[in-house]
Amino acid sequence: QYSLIKDVVSSLKRHRMHEQQFTHHPLLILSNFGFQQIQVKLMASMFQNMFPSINVHRVNLNNIKRCLLISYDAETQLLSFRHYSVKVVPVGVSKGLKKLLQEKFPNMSRLEDISELL
């Protein structure tokens, strides 16, 4: 079973697809691939070699725009693919400052000066 990209995008309320998402490789997450069977090890190795490894100490978080989750079900021997869009947002700041950091300019017509926003 599969879905076309136009069907997926049309079903989303707020889709976040832009060209910059595909300039870097996705973060690969393999789930339930810890079994000792040779075919499971071979599948895990194949998926790991499809994408370059990421050094977690040196990676820039702004470069990670997508996440690919591949989950293996041992009972049915089926794979599930999920492709996520990742967005880095500031945490622990005011709502107005968060909008400025995300390059969304809030309506400041009702404010006396910028300090009220921050």
Count other C-beta atoms under 10 Å from residue 43's C-beta. Answer: 16
* Average pLDDT, integer, range 79-83: 92
- Please report whether residue 114 resides in a domain: no
- Please report whether residue 104 resides in a domain: no
Number of domain units in the chain:
1
- DSSP letter string over 48-96? HHHS----TTT--GGG--EEEEEEEETTTTEEEEEEEE------SS-HH
- Please report whether residue 60 resides in a domain: yes
- Please report whether residue 111 resides in a domain: no
Comparing CA positions, the residue from 93, 62, 68 lying closest to residue 81 is 68
- Convert the pLDDT of each residue in 3-27 to its tens digit: 887 887 788 777 777 777 778 888 9
- Please report whether residue 77 resides in a domain: yes
Tokens matching residue 26: 């996705």
- Please report whether residue 109 resides in a domain: no
- Convert the pLDDT of each residue in 93-113 to its tens digit: 777 777 666 666 666 677 776
- Please report whether residue 64 resides in a domain: yes
Full domain range(s) for residue 19: 5-91
Tokens matching residue 37: 């069977």
Helices (H) and strands (E) in the chain, counts: 4, 3
Q: Would you say the pTM of this structure is higher than 0.95? A: no
- Please report whether residue 100 resides in a domain: no
